[in-house]
Amino acid sequence: MMVSVLGIFVFFFSFRKIYSEDYFWHTETGRVLIEKGIPKTDDFSFTSGNAPIVNLSSLAQILFYSVGDSGTQILRSLLVVAMFVLSVFLIPFKKESTRFVVCLLSLFGVIAASSRFLCRPALFTDLLFIVFVFVLLRLQGTKLLMILVFLTALWINLHNGVLLAPVVVISAIFAVFLGRILKTEIEIEHRIFWLGLCLVCVFVAMFFNPYFADGAFYPFKFFTKPAGYILVLEWKSPLVELSDFFSPSLLSYKVLLALLVVSTVASYRKWRSFRIVLSGLVTLLSLMAYRNISLFALVAPPVIAANIEDALEGVNIPRLVESCFKYSAFCVIVVVSLIMSVFCATDGFWRSRHLYDISFGFGLSGVTFPLELPQFLKERPNIKRLFHNYELGGFLISRCERKSFLDGRLVHFPQEIHDDYWSVLSQPQRIDSVAEKWQLDGVILEHHRGRFDPLILHLYQSALWRLVYADSVVVLFERRREGVSSLAGNVEVLKGLVERFKKGDYTGSDYPEYDRETIIRLLYLLGESEIAASLKNVR
């Protein structure tokens, strides 16, 4: 019953409109896989020159494309529920009441990992990671451990996070030797044999992909990422330069991190080597990159609960107190889960936290994506080559039938593309030379992010560019090679956008109040204070 309530909460908390930009190039790749087979060269970008590619997410991409947007949203929530339910049963406990502690802590885990509930193949890495740990904890030292080999062969075709497979097995081997040092492990030869054999077979299984050796070694490329990667949020430490959007998850993450440290110290007399190594591994991974917080959120709750159980072993706790705790914990889980589920289903929680990127329901997020842009570009086939912030790349590929300048497959692009991209964002005047180099027809940028303000202002004031489209998410400038000033045309586009909102036309909008504020902000940025004031006065 308790786990069922937790599962319901996790489902509603993770069920939201699609707001992951990378989702689009994954689904488009799925279409290519079904219609044409395994892609060997990149046909999605006009800057890559049909460079050879390695794609290790083929099974996930085929699945996403086959079930469609709505099916992928349901699949996403089911995968998240599965991994958190498995987390509850990760460690065998001596007392049933400890399971209540895990469920309570899992509430923090769900919130900590909430921003990683994305429609991306990385979900399979989170699930298979916890499955690996579960198997190693339950079947270590037996022939059944070899099931990890088959899981690795599956993993290598679902996501490039498969590199974690040998890492987890190596951690288990290290834990066995650590147990010998701590004198909690006596006869280790048999376990080392099976773990060593499993490790060798796991490495071999990584070659079971369409690209063979190139695919097996591809995950290691992420250790030599292009310079631009350091500016991508999910590759930063969660304790560095994060906006308010992530503060709820960061707070929960810090709570779990503190509890993990305290509980580990408190249970020092009953240390279990694999739990120590596992805790250290997920903590290190989460501190290295924000994208790994989900791994920490899955492992920390059961480990903390097990540490608490070990620390209290031998303490005479009256049965009445234990029963009161169980019922109290159950009530807290039920009440919090139900209230949060209702808030999520009505968008009350997301609105109250100003997390406008997230909204409950089927379809695409109107806050994250310019939903009317595809129709606009369809009517203007002359605008083909676009410079854009890389987050928009997948959307342009999949929904606008345009090739990208740079997209979420960052590691795939040569350093030259990264240099051009980041130099334009840091020095807006360079857009003209880059436009000439790549024969660009236009520039499209997400103004709601605020990170591209200098470039947007430069384009708006330049005689070489003309504003042809604007909505609450993006602005699109067309390149004017004749160099005729286009300021008047710019103003007309903005006035047309404002008139729509004055008439109450919120087509494609999830949160009209947010869209209105972003448009007002854009108008002030561009120096059109009178137009902004006219929209600001409309209630």
Question: Which run of H or of E encompasses 87?
Answer: helix 58-88
- Residue 395 vs residue 6, higher pLDDT: 395
511: region left, alpha or beta (phi > 0 left; psi from -120 to 50 alpha): beta
Is 258 exposed, middle or buried, given 0-12, 13-18 or 19+ CB atoms closer than 10 A?
Answer: exposed
In this prediction, residues 205-228 reach a mean pLDDT of 75
pLDDT the model gives residue 315 = 63
Instruction: Indicate if the pLDDT at residue 252 is higher than 60.
Output: yes
Q: Kindly provide the b/e burial profile for residues 330-343, where b requires at least 16 CB atoms within 10 angstroms of the residue's own CB.
A: beebbeebeebbeb
Sketch the domain layout of the chain as residue ranges: 2-352, 373-536
Question: Is residue 247 predicted with pLDDT exceeding 70?
Answer: no
Contact criterion met (CB below 8 Å) for 215 and 38: no
Which one has a higher pLDDT value, 291 or 445?
445
Among the listed ranges 226-235, 323-332, 448-457, 471-480, which one has the minimum average pLDDT value? 226-235
Angle, CA of 34, 36 and 41, to the nearest 5° = 115
pLDDT of residue 28: 93
- Rounded average pLDDT over 294-309: 91
The predicted model gives 396-412 an average pLDDT of 88
Tokens of 175: 């834990």
Instruction: Specify the pLDDT at position 98.
Output: 82
Q: How far apart are the first and last CA of the chain?
A: 47
Phi, psi of 439 (to 5 degrees): 55, 55
**Per residue in 159-216, pLDDT tens?**
988 999 999 999 998 888 887 776 666 567 778 888 888 999 999 999 998 888 877 7
Q: What are phi and psi of 72, to 5 degrees?
A: -65, -40
Nearest Cα neighbor of 76 from 20, 139, 136, 152 is 20
Point out the least confidently predicted range of 7-16, 221-230, 463-472: 221-230
- Alpha-carbon 219 to chain mean position: 17
Per the CB < 8 A criterion, the answer to whether 225 and 235 are in contact is yes
HSE-up of residue 507 (Cα within 13 Å, Cβ side): 8
Contact 209, 215 (CB under 8 A): yes
**pLDDT of residue 307 exceeding 90:** no
Over the stretch 116-164, which tens digit does the pLDDT of each residue have?
Answer: 888 899 999 999 999 999 999 887 767 788 899 999 999 999 998 899 9
Kindly tell me if the per-residue pLDDT of 85 is higher than 90. yes
Q: Average per-residue pLDDT in the chain?
A: 82
Whole-number pLDDT of residue 225: 55
User: Could you tell me if 301 and 102 are in contact, meaning their C-beta atoms sit under 8 angstroms apart?
Assistant: yes
Whole-number Cα distances in Å, 51 to 45, 56, 214, 480, 517:
10, 16, 14, 30, 42
Decide if 160 contacts 57 (C-beta within 8 A). yes
The pLDDT, as a whole number, for residue 227 is 47
Selection from 202, 59, 205, 206 nearest residue 136 by Cα: 202
The Cα 234–Cα 285 span in angstroms is 12
